Structure 1
C-alpha cells in the first residue's frame, strides 16, 4: 500500500464555519487541524469566557467534521505534544503526516497573516491561502473606494454597499423608506417599557474545559461562568439565537440601541457578534433575515436600517480601514496620551456608577454594547488621557466579540481619535449630560451630574472641558466643534482655571475616583 498523500488544512479559532466549501466533499487526502495554544491565549490577557467560547467552538467543529467523515487532528491546550506556537505545531504535523501541501483560510488579523505568510515562505512544500468566504468585501476593496479621499466617510461606503448588494434598495436603486439613514429615530432612552425580552439562551457546563485551561497555566480575568455558560458552541445554536433575535428582540432594537440601564445588561441587543466574528453565522444571512423581517412588516424601516448598517456598513468598513492601515495604525496616538489604565478597569470598583456598571458588566459577561464602550469607558479614557494602545489591549482581551480587525480601528479611530480623524469627524466625548440623557446611570451616583468642580462633581464634566482647552490647537479648527469652542471663549479665566484644576486632580490620581 502506498503512502497516503496528505494536504494539511489549518482552521483558526475564528474560522468555525461548517458551511465553508472546504467541507462540501469528504476527501481522505485532506487533514484538518485545529489547535488550542498559548500563543493565542497569551498575546493579551483575555476574559475567561472568551477563551472558553473559542475553545468550545473549536472542539464542537472538530467533532462535527469527524462525524461527517473528515480527517481531523485536534490539539488541546494541555496535550504534551502541543508546542503552543503555530509554527511549531504545524511543522510537527507536516512532518508526522508527510504532508505534500499546506493550506489555510485567509486570517482576519494582521499578525497571524504575517506569521503564516512567513511560515509558508520557509516551507519546502507548496502552500495556498484561500478565502474564508465570510465577508461582503475583499480586504482592500474599501481602500480602493477611498484611494483619493483624505477622510474615509463610512456613510459613502455604506451607501455603495447597499446598492452593490441590493439591500433595502428599491427597483430604481433608491433607498427603501426614502432615505439612507434613520439614525435620528434610534436614540430613545429605555425606562423599562417594553420589558426586556426573555432570555431563552441555552446554558452549557464548561467546568471540565475550564479546568483544562487553568491546568495549562493560561492566565485570564473576568468571571468564567463555566457552569451556566450562555454563548453558542456551534452554528446550530447560533442560528437559534439569530431566529429568536429577529422574532422577539429586533422589533425593539432600533429605538433603544443607544440606551443604557442599570436594570439590564443586554436589553434589546442581538448578542450575535461573537457568533458572527468566529463565522458560525455569515453577515449575509443575518442581513437577509433582518431585511426579510422588514419586508414582512414585522419591524420598522428605521429598525431594519439601523441594524443592517452596523453589519453591512460599519463592520465591513472597519475591516477595510484595518487592512489598509496596518501595521502602523496600531501605534497611532494623535494626542500623545500615555496615562496607564487605572486599576478599576480590572475590578469595576470606582465611585462613578456609569463606569462601574459598564466595567462590572464586562467582567461578568464579557460583553458591553457599543454605546457603553464608546461613550462610557472609551469616553473616559480619551478625556483622561489614557494610552490608546493600553485601552486597545483591554478591549481586545475583555470582550467576547473582540478580534483585532474589528476592535483596533474602533478603539484607535472611533473611540480615541488617535488617528487624527481618519475615521471620526470629531472626538466622541461628552460630559455627564449625554450619559444621563441616554440612561439611568447617574441616578444614585456618588457624583453630582450637574456639578463641574468640587469633590462631588462628576469627573466627566471637568475632564470634558479640560480636554478641549488642552487640545485647542489641534481641535479648534474642526467645524463640528465650533459650538464647544464658542462656549469656552465665553468662560471667564477663573472658571477655566477651576475646571482645569479639578481635571488635573482627577487625572493625577485616577485610581481614587
Structure 2
C-alpha cells in the first residue's frame, strides 16, 4: 500500500515519531489562506512557520512536497485527485479539528478510493472520544462542571480529592483594574529571521490587499515561528508575567496589548507548543518560585478548562451552534469595524490593536468587541467571519463556540446562562478609558437591548436586575437613551 501524509498549517508538531520516513505534503490549504481575506500577519505567520517546519522535518522524512496557496493543489479535492493519479491509495493525516476540512478530506478520499489513516495529534490534552461522556451525556454543558472533571482526570492542582487552596476557582480575585502607575512587564519579541522576512514578502506579493498591518521587523510584536522560539516565548511568560496573570487577567489598558497575558495561543493552536509543554513549564515555575494560587489556578483553567471545553463543544455541538441566531440579529458588519472608525473609543482602539498585530486579549474580545457587536445586533455569522479574518489565533474550532455561544449568545444558552453584555460603566471600571460621548452611545445601545427583549431579561434571574434598573428610569430618560441608540445605528 503506497501512502502519503498531508500536514496542514495547524499541525506543526515537534514530535515526528508518527511521520518519520513518510512522504510529506505540507499544504497551504485554501481554508487557511484563501477562504477569507485573512489578516496579513496571520498569512505571514502561517507561511513563516510552515517554511521553518519544512526545514525542521526535512532530515527525518522520505520527501517533502510544499504546496503554495496560489497553486491548484492547495484545493484539497485537487490534491487528493493528484495523489490518486500518482498511485497513492492511503492518506495519513492528523485529526484536523476542523469540520469543513474534515468533510473535504473524507469526500475527496471516498470519491478517489483512498483509505484514511489517522495519526495521533498533540493539539489537545483530550482525545475527542474522551470528551463524549460529558458533551453527549449532560444536558447542562456549563464550563465549571467540565473544568472540575478535568482537574480530577489530569490530577492537576489537587490534594487528594480536593482542589488546592480549598476551592476550584479563584476567579473572584482576578478582576482588578491595572494600577495607574504600574509598568507592565516588557514583552520580549521573537528574533526576526529569514523566514519572517520571506513570509512578509510572500504575503505582500499574493495577499497585499488583505486587512491589517504587514509582518515587519520593527513591529512591537514579532511572533515565534519555530519550536525553539516558542519555548523561549513560553519561558519569558512563566518567568515574568505568570505571577500577576491572575489579578490582572480582566484588566484593559488603552495603550497596552499584552499586560500579564501569555500570548501563547498563536503557537498553541498550530502545534509549535503543546498544552502538555505549557502545563509542565507553568508547574515547574510554581514549584521553584512562589506563584499565587489565583494566578496559577487561573492560568491552568485557561489551558485544561476553557481550551479543552471549547474543543469539545465544537466537535459535539458546533454544527448546531453555527446555525443558531436566537436573538435574530440581522445587521451586516459595518465598515467601521474593519478600519477602527466606529466612533466608540474603546472599540476603535481595540480594533487598531488587532489591525497592528492580529491580537487583543480575551476580555477585550468578549467585553469590548463582542459586547458592542451584540448591542449593535450584528448577525452572528458576520461576527464569526470578522474574528476569523482578523485574529492570528482564530480557527473554526475556536470561533464557532466562542462567537455563537459565548460572545453573541446566538445558541440561546448552551454554554452560559445569560449574554455577556454591559453598559459603559463596566468598561470604565476595568480600564483606563476616559469618559466621553462614547459612553452615552454605549449606554443607549445597552438599554435599547434591555427594552427590546424586556421579557427575557425580566424572567432570567441572572439578568432581572438589568430589567429592573431599566423600568425604574423615568420616561424622558428612556426616550433619550433610545433616541441616541437609534441615531447611532442609523449611521453605522
TM-score class normalised by the smaller sequence? over 0.9
Q: What is the correspondence of 1:362-401 to structure 2 with a 5 Å cutoff?
A: 362-401=354-393
Distance 1:343 1:476, change over 3 A: same
* Cα displacement string for residues 197-239 of structure 1 (whole angstroms, at most 9, x for unaligned residues): 2222224253433333343357521001333461111111111
Contact conserved, 1:10 with 1:33, CA < 8 A, in 2? yes
Structure 2 residue aligned with 1:178, among 138, 147, 166? 166
Q: Within the alignment, does 1:138 sit opposite 2:127 as a pair?
A: yes
Q: Within the alignment, does 1:294 sit opposite 2:291 as a pair?
A: no
Instruction: Give distance in 1, aligned partners of 2:6 and 2:120.
Output: 13
Distance 1:439 1:217, change over 3 A: closer
1:89 maps to 79
Q: Within the alignment, does 1:201 sit opposite 2:189 as a pair?
A: yes
1:454 maps to none
Q: Within the alignment, does 1:329 sit opposite 2:317 as a pair?
A: no
* Cα displacement string for residues 233-291 of structure 1 (whole angstroms, at most 9, x for unaligned residues): 11111111001110111112111111111231111111100100001111122122223
Q: What is the correspondence of 1:96-111 to structure 2 with a 5 Å cutoff?
A: 96=86, 98-111=87-100
Contact conserved, 1:9 with 1:102, CA < 8 A, in 2? yes
Instruction: Give distance in 2, aligned partners of 1:380 and 1:78.
Output: 36
Q: Within the alignment, does 1:215 sit opposite 2:205 as a pair?
A: yes
Gaps of 5+ in 1: 450-456
Contact conserved, 2:344 with 2:438, CA < 8 A, in 1? no
> Which piece of structure 1 moves more, 118-127 or 352-361?
118-127
- DSSP 3-state at the match of 1:420: coil
2:10 maps to 14
2:107 maps to 118
What's the offset of the Cα at 1:350?
A: 3.3
Instruction: Give distance in 1, aligned partners of 2:26 and 2:243.
Output: 38
- DSSP 3-state at the match of 2:478: helix
Instruction: Give distance in 1, aligned partners of 2:73 and 2:209.
Output: 17
Instruction: Give distance in 1, aligned partners of 2:406 and 2:273.
Output: 25
Aligned length: 488
What's the offset of the Cα at 1:460?
A: 1.2
Per the normalisation by structure 1, the TM-score is 0.90
Q: Within the alignment, does 1:41 sit opposite 2:68 as a pair?
A: no
Contact conserved, 1:254 with 1:304, CA < 8 A, in 2? yes
What's the offset of the Cα at 1:182?
A: 0.3
Instruction: Give distance in 1, aligned partners of 2:73 and 2:203.
Output: 15
What's the offset of the Cα at 1:496?
A: 2.2
Per the normalisation by structure 2, the TM-score is 0.94
**Cα RMSD between the aligned structures?**
1.9
Instruction: Give distance in 1, aligned partners of 2:304 and 2:16.
Output: 20
Distance 1:78 1:333, change over 3 A: closer
- DSSP 3-state at the match of 1:298: coil
- DSSP 3-state at the match of 1:465: helix
Contact conserved, 2:90 with 2:114, CA < 8 A, in 1? yes
Contact conserved, 1:238 with 1:280, CA < 8 A, in 2? yes
Gaps of 5+ in 2: none
Structure 2 residue aligned with 1:189, among 169, 177, 196? 177
1:311 maps to 303
- DSSP 3-state at the match of 1:212: helix
- DSSP 3-state at the match of 2:272: coil
